[in-house]
Amino acid sequence: MTRVLLTGANGFIGRPLFERLLDEGFQTNMAVRSISVQDKAPSCVCTLIGEIDSVTPWDQALANIDVVIHLAARVHITNESAADSLAEFRKVNVDGTVNLARQAAQMGVRRFVFISSIKVNGENTEFGRPFTPEDIPAPTDAYGISKREAEDALRLLASETGMEVVIIRPPIVYGPGVKANFQTLMRCLARSIPLPLGAINNQRSLVALDNLVDLILTCIDHPKAANQTFLVSDNDDISTTRLLLLLADALGKKAFLLPIPENAIKKIAVLIGKKQMAQKLCGSLQVDISKTLNLLDWKPPIKIEQALLKTARAFKDNR
């Protein structure tokens, strides 16, 4: 059985991934900052790791490991306080990743699965022209830039050492426990707050947590995944308006969506300093996952309606 090291095992993606690894019988070593998740699997090896940077020692966690799944990262921070945010992202997402990967290669790890971000491709797409894995990267924020630099460094390391590298770039991930804007939308719908989003004709690719976890597991041993970059989604692009209607239905609520024209929303957003928020709600971001589907003979195991219902139930249970 393949022996796996999972970093970020107690995060939003890491927790369900860890449980699936155990269910599938993988021998799993968790690298975490706290030991709380070990309560779920007392027999599982758990290695406490401090700060992840260019000097973090990984030898204990990497002992007898075949595949590393690297989830741990410095993620987007809404109220960034660092004077040089790109430098802070690079410490963890570039230097920390390369340090782990280099030590993994030295210890004979066969494959390194890196969870990157669609932000490597860019922030938005023209309607009907989705991102592909072959597109020239065009990240615009510090997080996306750091993920692109980590990808480039991993590919170089793979060519030098022979360790296989698999890169997965997810868009917005949703599921039980989701936070940020997705959680905010659910709160508004649950409180029957009217939203000016009843006439949004964009298209966005999302990925359910269960679908992303399933793809990651597929990439652990699939021979055709070696040294490839994959995009992932539910394979069912959706407008903001349709998303809100489905979410409201999953919450057992009626959505009060005002049909305000997109241009008016964008103009108002600029005036109140919410331009980026308007772009996320009104703009398109589509991904083409045909390579993922065809090369890996994979398909998302859960439909978007099922995934939204599961997300909504968890939200209601924790209110």
Q: DSSP 3-state assignment of 259?
A: coil
Prediction pTM value: 0.95
Residue 177: pLDDT band with limits 50, 70, 90:
very high
DSSP 8-state symbol, 175? S
pLDDT digits (tens, 9 = 90+) for 30-51: 998 766 644 455 557 888 888 8
Tokens of 273: 């300093």
Q: Is the dihedral of CA 156, 100, 40, 117 positive or negative?
A: negative
Averaged pLDDT, 117-124: 97
Higher pLDDT, 42 or 25: 25
Q: Write the single-letter amino acid at 119.
A: K
Q: What is the pLDDT of residue 26?
A: 94
Average pLDDT over residues 293-303: 98
DSSP state of 123: S
Helix or strand run (H / E) with residue 33: none
CA angle 272, 274, 279 (to 5 degrees): 140
DSSP at 232: -
Instruction: Indicate the CATH number for domain 3-169.
Output: 3.40.50.720
Count CA atoms closer than 13 A to 241's CA, side-chain side. 13
pLDDT in tens, 49-87: 888 999 999 999 999 999 999 999 998 665 555 668 899
The pLDDT mean for the chain works out to: 93
Catalytic: which of 12, 114, 143, 298? Answer: 143
Percent pLDDT > 90 in the chain is 82
pLDDT digits (tens, 9 = 90+) for 134-154: 999 999 999 999 999 999 999
* Residue 143 annotated to the active site: yes
Residues 163/105, Cβ–Cβ less than 8 Å: yes
pLDDT band at 28 (very low <50, low <70, confident <90, very high): very high
Q: How confident is the model at residue 310 (pLDDT cuts 50, 70, 90)?
A: very high
C-alpha span between 93 and 89 (Å, rounded): 6
